[in-house]
Amino acid sequence: MTKPWPKLDYEEQIWDGGQIASMGPAATRLSMRGAKYHTAVPSMIVDLVPEVDREVELLAREAELELARFDTEVGLRLAAFGPILLRSEATSSSQIENLTASARQIFTAELGGRVARNASEVAANTRAMLAALELSDELSSESMREMHRVLMEGQDRHTPGDFRAQSVWIGSRAYSPIGASYVAPAASRVPELMSDLAAFCERDDMPALVHVAVAHAQFETIHPFSDGNGRTGRALAQAMLRRSQVTRSVAVPVSAGLLTDVRGYHDALTAYRDGDPSPIVEKFAAASLRAVPNGRQLMAELDQISQDWRELAAPRTGSAKERLLRFALERPVFTAEIAARDLGIAPSNVYRYLQGLQEVGVLAFKAEYRGPAVWRAPAVLEAIDRFAERAGKRGSEWR
In a domain, 20, yes or no: no
CATH number for the domain including 108?
Answer: 1.10.3290.10
Strand positions, DSSP E, the chain = 9-14, 36-41, 169-170, 182-183, 333-334, 364-367, 373-376
In a domain, 390, yes or no: no
In a domain, 222, yes or no: yes
**Has 233 been labeled as part of a binding site?**
yes
Beta carbons within 8 Å of 61's beta carbon, 6+ residues apart: 207, 209
H/E element, 351: helix 347-359
The answer to whether residues 279 and 304 belong to one domain is: no
What value, to the nearest 5°, has the Cα angle with vertex 95 and ends 202 and 165? 55
The answer to whether residues 275 and 142 belong to one domain is: yes
**Has 230 been labeled as part of a binding site?**
yes
pLDDT of residue 1: 46
The answer to whether residues 264 and 312 belong to one domain is: no
pLDDT of residue 26: 52
pLDDT by residue, tens only, the chain of 399 residues: 457 899 999 999 998 875 554 455 555 555 567 788 999 999 999 999 999 999 999 999 999 999 999 999 887 776 677 778 888 888 888 888 877 777 777 777 777 766 566 777 877 888 888 889 899 998 999 999 999 999 888 776 778 999 999 989 987 677 788 888 899 999 999 999 999 999 999 999 999 999 999 999 999 999 999 999 999 999 999 999 999 999 988 888 898 888 888 899 999 999 999 999 999 999 999 999 998 998 899 999 999 999 999 999 999 999 999 999 999 998 999 999 999 999 999 988 999 999 999 999 999 998 765 667 889 999 999 998 898 888 764 433 332
The answer to whether residues 219 and 96 belong to one domain is: yes
Beta carbons within 8 Å of 145's beta carbon, 6+ residues apart: 161, 162, 163
**Has 295 been labeled as part of a binding site?**
no
The answer to whether residues 90 and 155 belong to one domain is: yes
The answer to whether residues 236 and 202 belong to one domain is: yes
Catalytic residue, from 148, 211, 216, 223: name it. Answer: 223
| Identity at 313, one-letter amino acid code | A
Has 211 been annotated as catalytic?
A: no
In a domain, 191, yes or no: yes
**Helix intervals (H) in 52-153:** 54-75, 78-96, 103-110, 117-134, 141-152
The answer to whether residues 162 and 231 belong to one domain is: yes
**Has 118 been labeled as part of a binding site?**
no
Are 86 and 250 in contact by the 8 Å Cβ rule? The answer is yes
242, 262, 291 - which closes a domain: 291
The answer to whether residues 254 and 123 belong to one domain is: yes
The answer to whether residues 303 and 284 belong to one domain is: no
**Has 276 been labeled as part of a binding site?**
no
**Has 394 been labeled as part of a binding site?**
no
pTM: 0.87
CATH number for the domain including 372?
Answer: 1.10.10.10
**Has 234 been labeled as part of a binding site?**
yes
234, 259, 291 - which closes a domain: 291
The answer to whether residues 252 and 344 belong to one domain is: no
In a domain, 6, yes or no: no
The answer to whether residues 201 and 226 belong to one domain is: yes
> Total structural domains in the chain?
2
In a domain, 137, yes or no: yes
253, 270, 291 - which closes a domain: 291
**Has 247 been labeled as part of a binding site?**
no
The answer to whether residues 199 and 317 belong to one domain is: no
Parent domain of 92: 47-166+187-291
d(CA 304, CA 310): 10
